[in-house]
């Protein structure tokens, strides 16, 4: 198990099937950073509490809206144009790097908030992914469960 959230996110994302599941969740409007944080908290055995979910969302929501999504939007909008414009392709790659850096910063903020939450080993499975997915939209529950299956299968 990875001690820090960034390492957990990188190793999880690299597993077969996780990238596709995360991209599908993202397209449906999910905050993948928040879901990866939930998977990390599940793996650590941290109990789900409504106030903890709200605290995570208070950090993630504004950061996604004001920082990550505008960068992602710009990168996606430039996709077609950048295929025929080398300077724009270079700028697009820099925007992509900024987007990843913004996601890393969000994960650091989520980790800082939740780092001191105690683990409750022996209390069994903590359904962070279902709770976080249910908070986003009802359609995400199935993909969040698929994400858990991929994360826990390796």
- Tens of pLDDT, residue by residue over 104-144, are 999 999 999 999 999 876 545 668 887 887 655 555 556 56
Least confident of 10-19, 46-55, 96-105: 10-19
Predicted local confidence at residue 56, as pLDDT:
97
Predicted local confidence at residue 154, as pLDDT:
45
91-95 own/partner pairs: CB under 8 Å, 24+ apart = 95/71
Polymer length of the chain: 154
Report pTM. 0.87
Q: Which residues of 64-92 are buried (b: 16+ CB within 10 A; e: fewer)?
A: beebbeebbeebeebeeebeeeeeeeeeb
Residue 145 pLDDT class (50, 70, 90 cuts): low
Residue 48, domain extent: 5-153
Q: How many domains in the chain?
A: 1
pLDDT, the chain, mean: 86
């Amino acid at each position: 198990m990875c001690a820090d959230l960034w390492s957990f996110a990188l190793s999880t994302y690299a597993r077969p099937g996780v990238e596709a599941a995360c991209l599908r969740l993202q397209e449906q409007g999910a905050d993948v950073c928040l879901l990866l944080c939930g998977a990390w908290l599940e793996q650590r055995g941290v109990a789900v509490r409504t106030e903890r979910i709200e605290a995570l969302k208070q950090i993630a929501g504004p950061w996604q809206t004001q920082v990550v999504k505008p960068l992602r939007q710009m990168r996606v909008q430039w996709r077609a144009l950048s295929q025929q414009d080398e300077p724009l392709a270079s700028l697009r790659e820099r925007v992509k790097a900024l987007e990843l850096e913004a996601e890393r910063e969000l994960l650091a903020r989520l980790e800082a908030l939740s780092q001191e939450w105690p683990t409750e080993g022996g209390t069994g499975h903590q359904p962070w992914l279902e709770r976080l997915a249910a908070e986003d939209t009802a359609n995400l529950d199935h993909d969040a469960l698929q994400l858990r299956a991929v994360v826990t299968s390796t």
